[in-house]
Each structure stands twice: as C-alpha cells, then as structure tokens.
Structure 1
Amino acid sequence: MPAKQAFEALALSLVGQPISYIWRGYGSAIFIEIGELTPRLNRDGSVGHPEGEVSLGVEWSWRIENTHAIVCGSWSDDDLWEPALSCLRDARVERCEALGYLPEVVLTTVEGFRFLTFSTTDGQPQWHIVDRRDGDARWFSVRDGQLHLGDGTEPAF
C-alpha cells in the first residue's frame, strides 16, 4: 500500500482514541502515546516510558493551539510546557492529518486543542509515527519531501 494511502488509513483509525501518555525527550523533543499503553524497560533494566499502540515523536518545532491562540510551543518558556501538555493528556483524537508540501502532522482533539509539527530547519520535517498494532510496526516519516512508510530500521529523523 502506498505511504499516503496507509497514512490516511492510520489517521482514520485514530479517531476516538485517547492520548494516553505524553513525555519529553531531550531538549524540545515530545512523544505522544495514543491508545493502550505497554510498559517498557530501558536498556539498563530500569522502568522506561510506556509505549502506546501508536506513538508520535517530534524532535523539535511543534506547538499546541486552541481556537483562539497558540497555547505553547517548542520555543516557549519551560514553565508553560506542562500546563499545555496537560490539555492533551486523556483527550480523544478527533482528527489526524499530514498537511503541506513537506508533510507535517496535525493532531486535533475532541476537546478543541491541536498539536502541530513544523520543522524550522533545513532538511526534512522531524517527526515520526509508529503504529504497533496488527503485527509488525509501521513507521511513518518524511523522506525526500514525501510521506514515507518504513519498518523502523531506518533512522527515525
């Protein structure tokens, strides 16, 4: 199945799913876990962040908005991050889209918030979505300006 068609099917399957967990990586990296969570261990055996059935990872350049304003973004003061991320926790997905010439992800919640990726550096957009349902994981990203569907063996960004 072509990557664009596979992404559209994934997007439709996310409607109504809960945003179950959100965690920060290094710097402004954000990871959004959707659906049922699975516990994870780090390489050293310590407890890691759980994985959702579907994960959205963004290395940098993102924002959260409501219908009136940008609530927070990757360049906002750290003090704003947690309250903004809490608007997404336990929210339900209303829509997931890949928009633009160089596809960026827009995740809209039933509660009226939107999470958007938007790379502001040269190269490719810096996001990936992993769908762990139904067998082997499928990794969506952008390669050469197009949606790309892989198996996770390529670098995520």
Structure 2
Amino acid sequence: MSNGISVLQTFRGALVGLPLSHLWRGHGSAIFLEFGHLTPRTPRSGEAGNPQGEFGLMVEWSWRIENRTAVLCGSWSNEQLWEPTFDLLRNRAVVDFSLAGRLPEVVVAMAEDHYVSSFMTAEGDPSWALFDRRGDTLRTLSVRDGSLTVSVTAHKSTDGAVE
C-alpha cells in the first residue's frame, strides 16, 4: 500500500488549493466535481457539454455531503436538497483529499468545513474515480479489486472534442 499512498500524495498535492469550479449531476445519482481551470467541452452532438476541470471527481453512486455536524444530503436524499447543497460547495477550495475505510472511499474536505464522501453500498469496488487532466495524458485514480490503481491514457483532442 506504500505505493498507493505515494500515488495519493501526488494527486493530493496538486488538488489541494484548487476551487470547485463546477459540480454537475450525471445519470441517476452520479455526481461530477470539476476542480480548477475549466475547459469547455463539445460532445459529438454539437451541443455544449459540461466543462472539464484540471481535475475531476466522479462518484457514480452512494455519496454524501456533510458539514462539521451533519449530513446535508446524499445520493438517497430528496433530490430537491441536491442543488441548494451543491451551491454551498461551488467555488470553495479543496483543503484536503484523503481516503477512508478498508476499501478506499474518497473524502474531499472543502473550505469552511464542508465534505464530499463516497461510500459504496453495493457489491464490488467503491465506485469513484479522480481524473487528472493536466498535460498530455489523462491519469485516473480509482479502486480495482479493493486497491488503489492509476491508469494513464491519451488525453483529449486538441480541439476540445470529447473522445
């Protein structure tokens, strides 16, 4: 796990201090948090897509947003709570990025004691991924077979089109 810890430190060092620039809902209860400078995206349909940050965090399901004393909302909450709670996070800086649990779940600590946490409630691996989109390669930190893993792939095309 020492290799996993050093990988985590690399991602943490670059992510801490960046603002949450955009937060959007994907399919179902999936959420996407985009950190740092945003780049516009245009899907093949030609319609404007959600912009991508220098870093992006996808939590497919089972997540919650907390303050110091309570859970404010989560993937199983009334959806009317989601947007107002998302608004509390937007533009706040990341103060820490850590893992919790025997099977690594992500915890993003934001300024002013707000937190976003994943917590898988179904069989399999925790369902989150952190994307580092800086540079010419895309580095993705996720969990596979119960352990942290990093994959490296080619980055987006130069015209900003989603591939």
Name the TM-score, length of structure 2 as normaliser.
Answer: 0.90
Worse-superposed segment, 8-17 or 84-93: 8-17
Q: Is the 8 A contact 2:137 2:153 kept in 1?
A: no
Q: CA-atom RMSD, angstroms? A: 1.5
Give the match for residue 13 of structure 2.
12
Q: Which residue of 1 aligns with 2:82?
A: 81
> How far did 1:2 drift?
3.7
Residue 21 of structure 1 corresponds to 22
**Alignment partners' CA distance in 1, 2:14 and 2:82:** 28
What count of residue pairs does the alignment treat as equivalent? 153
Displacement of 1:135: 2.7
Q: In the aligned structure 1, how far is the partner of 2:25 from the partner of 2:138?
A: 22
Cross-structure match for 2:39: 38
The alpha-carbon deviation at position 8 of structure 1 amounts to 1.4
- Deviations 1:12-66 (CA, angstroms, capped at 9, x unpaired): 2211110000000011000000000000011211110000000000110000000
Partner AA of 2:50 in structure 1: H
Tell whether the 8 Å contact from 1:140 to 1:149 is kept in structure 2 after alignment: yes
Is the 1:19–1:93 contact (alpha carbons within 8 Å) kept by the matching residues of 2? yes
Are 2:98 and 1:92 aligned? no
Runs of 4+, deviation exceeding 3 Å: 1-4
CA–CA distance in structure 2, aligned partners of residues 43 and 127 of structure 1: 25
Match of 1:109 in 2: 110
CA 1:152/1:101 → structure 2, altered by over 3 Å: closer, same or farther?
A: farther
How far did 1:103 drift?
0.4
Partner Cα distance (1:49, 1:145) in 2: 30
AA of the residue aligned to 1:120:
T
Instruction: For residue 105 of structure 1, report the CA deviation from its aligned partner.
Output: 0.5
Task: Please give the alpha-carbon distance, in whole angstroms, between the structure 2 residues aligned to 1:134 and 1:47.
Answer: 23
Instruction: Letter of the 1:15 partner, please give it.
Output: V
> Share of identical aligned residues, percent?
46
Between the aligned partners of 2:48 and 2:63, the Cα distance in structure 1 is: 27
Question: How many angstroms does 1:148 deviate by?
Answer: 0.5
| SS of the residue 1:13 aligns to | helix
The 5 Å alignment of 1:99-138 reads 99-138=100-139
